[in-house]
Structure 1
């Protein structure tokens, strides 16, 4: 970089190899040094470092660039990857002499991280993870070792592809990413609702297939044995798993029970039900 003019020389152009380095860092370290105060700020700056080093040869300028990104940042890790690419493009313009205040860079990050988090949580964390798990768990329940292997391989491959693609798309769009039609409130609302419905369908299927809850309670009337489970099945098959999932959801959603507390509760109920021959 010409320090007098502030122009980035042609040899210092950001290449696909540089963006690949950024993608690898973000994929593996997106929650490194995570904390409650600024969450993913260190991971963001660390991931962007290959680009910043190429743009800012002067140590003082590099230090200022890193400090600029040591502010609060938090979004969904895979679907939110275009933000890093867009910021890399903005940093390139800033290093080339464009008058872009630090507050503007951080305002763009803040404006993007919320919408991408909303879409990412619905698409990746809920829908895609649940779909991949449904296939893997089905194999694992049958004793097939390829169940967990399939999940890890499929998840890692898909996460890498989407992360790398997202960073490249974000870099090409730059600041225009914030004006993308995909990020309008109407689109986000439609996408999140649709994906939430898909996620519920998948979770419902998983609950019916993998939550095994039955009762051995029975009684004899006029020398004829009747089981409670047969009555429940005639009313609605898998009604006990449905009721249990509903109770777990209620305790988590409205009573703020943690996952560990719900797990302990499930173990205790299972033990008591087995000892008392109820479940």
Structure 2
């Protein structure tokens, strides 16, 4: 039978969004990853739909302690949808626990792929390229623009997304925005855009040249001139591709790659090779 649940307002859903944005990696664990943060984030809604009943509250929290992991920003529509399902359940609709887990399991993977491409890769790279360019010129606005821009994008999309998910409820599974075809198109486009941005950043910020030369008098030949004649920026490009190959194909960690670069840079400088 329906309980005497209190009405869930937009303010409650915004609270859920803020909680998730500020705590999505809190109590992260290898077994269930973001499950604790997920359960804690939707507490404002659970308090309303259980009307403060401790037993019902405990059952709801237990229901949402299952495995959960997705990209924090793009995952907020899913959290909003789960909140809507909790409201429907409190109003008497028969929604088994398995349905909650099925909705979460079915969407958290595609949303993670979309979010990683949109925010973690492309968006981050674009903002960093702009901010770093200003910072290297000594402009204090560089880090400020990055901070303000990233915060505005995360909060703006996240708070819209949690409200969108709450309006859609279980219908979010049929939403064209999160359909497999749309996600595939968007991630494909963003991957290309992200690689283009990374290529531009590499050309701008990776510097590598060689002072090697031979000959005497007016007949001095510089190796760097020959390399530039083949392709400007060839040495930085080779360096970036070698690092990518070692990291992506040989699973060399970032820490090891940094140590290798430090050693090679020091040796190349002392031997007058680089």
- TM-score, normalised with respect to structure 2: 0.96
After TM superposition, give the deviation of residue 222 of structure 1 in Å.
Answer: 7.0
- The aligned residue for residue 6 of structure 1 is 2
Q: Write the distance in 2 (CA, Å) between the matches of 1:245 and 1:235.
A: 17
1:45 aligns with 2:45: no
- The aligned residue for residue 233 of structure 1 is 228
Q: Select which of 123, 126, 129 maps to 1:128.
A: 123
- Which deviates further from its counterpart, 182-191 or 117-126? 182-191
Q: Write the distance in 2 (CA, Å) between the matches of 1:257 and 1:182.
A: 36
User: Could you say if the C-alpha distance between residues 233 and 88 of structure 1 is closer, same or farther in structure 2, counting changes exceeding 3 Å?
Assistant: same
- The aligned residue for residue 72 of structure 1 is 67
- The aligned residue for residue 89 of structure 2 is 94
SS of the residue corresponding to residue 73 of structure 1 reads coil
1:161-199 superposed Cα distances (whole Å, 9 cap, x missing partner):
111011000000000001112222222221111110000
Q: Select which of 1, 12, 16 maps to 2:10.
A: 16
- Structure 1, unaligned stretches of length 5 or more? none
Matches within 5 A, 1:75-224: 75-220=70-215, 223-224=218-219
After TM superposition, give the deviation of residue 212 of structure 1 in Å.
Answer: 1.1
User: Could you say if the C-alpha distance between residues 8 and 179 of structure 1 is closer, same or farther in structure 2, counting changes exceeding 3 Å?
Assistant: farther
After TM superposition, give the deviation of residue 223 of structure 1 in Å.
Answer: 4.0
SS of the residue corresponding to residue 152 of structure 1 reads helix
Q: Write the distance in 1 (CA, Å) between the matches of 2:152 and 2:11.
A: 18
Q: Write the distance in 2 (CA, Å) between the matches of 1:182 and 1:170.
A: 11
1:25 aligns with 2:19: yes
User: Could you say if the C-alpha distance between residues 221 and 8 of structure 1 is closer, same or farther in structure 2, counting changes exceeding 3 Å?
Assistant: farther
1:89-148 superposed Cα distances (whole Å, 9 cap, x missing partner):
000001111110001111110001011011111111111000000000101111112211
Q: Write the distance in 2 (CA, Å) between the matches of 1:189 and 1:210.
A: 31
After TM superposition, give the deviation of residue 8 of structure 1 in Å.
Answer: 4.4
After TM superposition, give the deviation of residue 64 of structure 1 in Å.
Answer: 0.5
Q: Write the distance in 1 (CA, Å) between the matches of 2:65 and 2:260.
A: 40
1:246 aligns with 2:237: no
Q: Write the distance in 1 (CA, Å) between the matches of 2:16 and 2:261.
A: 42
After TM superposition, give the deviation of residue 224 of structure 1 in Å.
Answer: 1.2
Q: What's the Cα RMSD here?
A: 1.2
SS of the residue corresponding to residue 224 of structure 1 reads coil
Q: Write the distance in 1 (CA, Å) between the matches of 2:14 and 2:180.
A: 31
Q: Write the distance in 2 (CA, Å) between the matches of 1:267 and 1:95.
A: 60
Which 4+ residue blocks in structure 1 deviate beyond 3 angstroms?
none
**How many pairs are equivalent?**
273
- TM-score, normalised with respect to structure 1: 0.95
- Structure 2, unaligned stretches of length 5 or more? none
